[in-house]
Amino acid sequence: MQLSVREILALYQRRELSPVEMMEVCLKQILKYNPMLNAFAFLDEKHALHQAKGAERRWKRDAPAGLLDGIPVTIKDWFHHKGWPTRYGSLASSQIAQNEDSPPVARLREQGAIFLGKTTLPEYGHKGVTHSPLTGITRNPWNRERTSGGSSGGAAVAAVTGMGLLHLGSDAGGSIRIPASFSGAFGFKPSPGLVPNWPPSLFSTLSSTGPLARCVDDAALMLDVVTQPDARDWFALPFPSPNFSAALKKPLPKLRIAYATSINGITPTPEVTDVLKKVRPLLDALGKVEEITLTVPHLVDVFNKHWSAVASWSAAQFGAREKKKLDPRFLHWAAQGDALPLHDYLQAERDRMTIGEYFKSLLDTHDILVTPTTAMTAFEAGADMPVLANGRKWDDWTPFTYPANLARLPAASLPAGLDKNGLPVGLQVMGGYLKDALVLQACKKLEETLAFTPWTLSASPDTPPGRA
């Protein structure tokens, strides 16, 4: 269905579409595409239909429960949903049902959203692809032999194929933006603290909760809901968030744009570069563009030390029996953390400040920073990382995303076009801390200029893109 969430809500109001009919469309998409793409870790079709019938009755009385009454949504299997287990993509996790919602889930529920199920992730979200011992491989909707990206890969695939309308993900190094780029969705990582979270994450300010959707308008509407306060998160911002949907309706001033296609000497593949060359002239319509070279000290070292420290703590929560069930790659990260001296970790914290100062200075003189989202398009499904030639290191495929996490910046990925193999290429837009509304405004203007969404690329509303 090639409609935004607001358009669907308007159809509910005019009695031209019911929540039950909308739910049946989404369930049809799931039945058709999930067996081949594997986007869901948990499905509750019966309960979703029951909830849709309740929403239908409310709309008939002109008494919707909230902003999203009757809208089918999914949540990454990282968040708690009352009555469902949270497995984190791990065989070692508990199968016990949770007794309360995480904050963004609670806010969605209060506004009438209907939960279809939980989407897939790699074990404890520890890598930029989506396959795990628990759920297997999540595949790219454009080519099933390629990865969806990760760690919110199931959410991105569900967004592109219409298996739900709004999708909740998390991002501690690119986990919303990488799968958005690889799978052709829109994904947004808010400034840390904007979306309350619980249980608390050791990733702290590295991690943010955010939406994956088919368009910027839908993502903004979801943010309007999930940014509402929750007393359980001591780190959440102590003041009201802006109305992001309202911000999209405001005129966008001429922007000062920094544009970079390399970082620390790492450049995209020719396939990505070819798409970016077509996009670059469109940036001039948004304002003054300055082409820059990003040279940021300590990036990889700081990020790896933070991640390995968290992995070490996480793995230590399991006994020897459960540890045998963990992904070997996750245990590799944990072993690195085990060997990390405290002094080195504290030095990484200090170096992170230097990284933050670099980007703060850049975004004091520019309104947004535009880069590729990833340095390549989707690689082989089931692989933890691509096979890179010419002396490139394993982490050279995604050097552009985790700086936003280290520097506490809002960042989005929107689809910019297809490479010569028919795979999506993502464009990343970053802004200053708490300049989330401005980033969304710029993405909205680019989305309109590019005229490129999953809808425009699908052969029909019932046919997903690519060869899926």
* Per-residue pLDDT at 462: 43
* Per-residue pLDDT at 388: 73
Question: CB under 8 Å to 184, separation ≥6 — which residues?
Answer: 141, 142, 160, 415, 424, 454, 457, 465
Q: How far is CA 10 from CA 70, 109, 275, in A?
A: 12, 20, 36
d(CA 409, CA 202): 18
Question: Shortest CA distance to 164 belongs to which of 106, 116, 214?
Answer: 116
Choosing from 4, 18, 76, 148, the catalytic residue is 76
132 a catalytic residue: no
* Per-residue pLDDT at 305: 97
Choosing from 151, 152, 308, 314, the catalytic residue is 151
Rounded to an integer, what is the distance from CA 447 to the centroid of its chain? 17
Q: Which domains does the chain have, with CATH numbers?
A: 5-297+348-457 (3.90.1300.10)
76 a catalytic residue: yes
Tell how strand 131-132 and strand 136-137 pair up.
antiparallel
* Per-residue pLDDT at 240: 86
Element (DSSP H or E) covering residue 72: strand 72-76
Q: How confident is the model over 184-231, as pLDDT tens digits?
A: 999 999 999 999 999 988 888 999 999 999 999 999 999 999 999 999
Choosing from 175, 201, 207, 314, the catalytic residue is 175
- Beta carbons of 400 and 375 less than 8 angstroms apart: yes
9 token code pair: 């809500």
d(CA 327, CA 13): 47
d(CA 149, CA 181): 8
Task: Compute the half-sphere exposure of residue 446: CA atoms within 13 Å on the CB side of its CA.
Answer: 31
Give φ, ψ of 8 to 5 degrees.
-65, -40
* Per-residue pLDDT at 451: 76
* Per-residue pLDDT at 459: 37
Question: CB under 8 Å to 429, separation ≥6 — which residues?
Answer: 368, 369, 370, 411, 412, 414, 439, 442, 443, 446
What size, in residues, is the chain?
468
Q: How confident is the model over 275-308, as pLDDT tens digits?
A: 999 999 999 999 999 999 999 999 999 999 999 9
SS3 85: strand
- Beta carbons of 416 and 279 less than 8 angstroms apart: yes
d(CA 381, CA 182): 12
d(CA 31, CA 436): 36
d(CA 68, CA 437): 20
183 a catalytic residue: no
Residue segments in the chain with a per-residue pLDDT below the cut of 70: 1, 389-394, 453-468
